[in-house]
């Protein structure tokens, strides 16, 4: 088993079967791994990710291809703090905002770089909640790259979050030199997509 390789520092997990990913139990104290850089190159739910991370207390960098909504309720006490974890990148995040918020506020207070690309749950556009999480729980965060994709189709409706979108231009964001941008792009199916993004000053 991978966790029994004491010198392993980097690991890339890929699960290409059409069957569902086989979940693993939360680790015991005798099952810890020395992995510092972990890439999860397949889809998994947030509760499955939490189980995987329970084996990696020395993790520094986490990259996930796709995180889906959990199949069961996540208990806060199942999320172990990884104080060495400083970089988190999620290429496609389909987990509900409430789930991700709980995960981020528990997993590591030392996160310095956070990259998230998401859609569907419009709560992700709540600038005030992001500001509260960052100012209260992610005090070391210095790089925040965020993208939310909103498909423009017959089901598109504006919400209170759309109406308050300018809150991403408040002093909280400007002080950190994290800038907000709205653009319209065409995806691979020729659909128009509104892209809301936060990016550091250096990307302007």
How confident is the model over 12-58, as pLDDT tens digits? 777 765 455 556 656 556 666 778 999 998 888 888 898 888 888 89
Domain map of the chain by residue range? 2-111
116: Cβ contacts below 8 Å, ≥ 6 apart: 89, 90, 93, 100, 145, 146, 147
Per-residue pLDDT at 8: 66
Q: Does residue 190 or residue 203 have the better pLDDT?
A: 190
Separation between Cα atoms, residue 199 and residue 113, nearest integer Å: 12
As a three-state string, the secondary structure of the chain is: CHHHCCCCCEEEECCCCCCCCCCCCCCCCCCCCCCCEEEEEEEEEHHHHHHHHCCCCCCCEEEEEEEECCCCCCCHHHCCCCCCCCEEEEEEECCCHHHHHHHHHHHCCCCCEEEEEEECCHHHHCHHHHHHHHHHCCCCCCEEEEEEEEECCCCCCCCHHHHCHHHHHCHHHHHCCEEEEEEEEECCCCCEEEEEEEEEHHHC
Give the residue-averaged pLDDT of 78-89: 88
User: If you average pLDDT over residues 111-126, what whole number do you get?
Assistant: 94
Distance CA 47, CA 71 (A): 7
Residue of 172 and 201 predicted with greater confidence: 172
Is residue 138 pLDDT above 90, yes or no?
yes
**For residue 13, what pLDDT is reported?**
74
pLDDT value of residue 37: 92
Span 185-191, mean pLDDT?
Answer: 70
Residues 79-89 have a mean pLDDT of: 90
């Amino acid at each position: 088993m991978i966790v029994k390789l004491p010198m392993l520092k980097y690991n890339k997990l890929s699960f290409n079967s059409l069957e569902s990913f086989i979940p693993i139990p939360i680790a015991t104290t005798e099952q810890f791994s020395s992995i510092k850089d972990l890439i999860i190159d397949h889809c998994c739910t947030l509760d499955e990710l939490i189980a995987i991370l329970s084996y990696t207390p020395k993790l520094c960098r986490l990259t996930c291809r796709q995180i889906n909504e959990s199949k069961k309720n996540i208990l806060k006490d199942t999320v172990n703090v990884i104080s060495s974890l400083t970089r988190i990148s999620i290429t496609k995040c389909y987990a509900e905002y409430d789930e991700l918020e709980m995960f981020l506020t528990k997993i590591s207070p030392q996160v310095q770089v956070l990259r998230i690309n998401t859609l569907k749950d419009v709560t992700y556009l709540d600038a005030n909640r992001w500001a509260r999480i960052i100012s209260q729980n992610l005090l070391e965060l210095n790089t925040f790259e965020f993208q939310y994709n909103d498909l423009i189709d017959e089901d598109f409706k504006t919400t209170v979050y759309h109406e308050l979108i300018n809150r991403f231009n408040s002093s909280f964001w400007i002080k950190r030199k994290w800038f907000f941008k709205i653009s319209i792009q065409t995806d691979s199916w020729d659909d128009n997509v509104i892209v809301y993004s936060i990016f550091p000053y250096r990307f302007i």
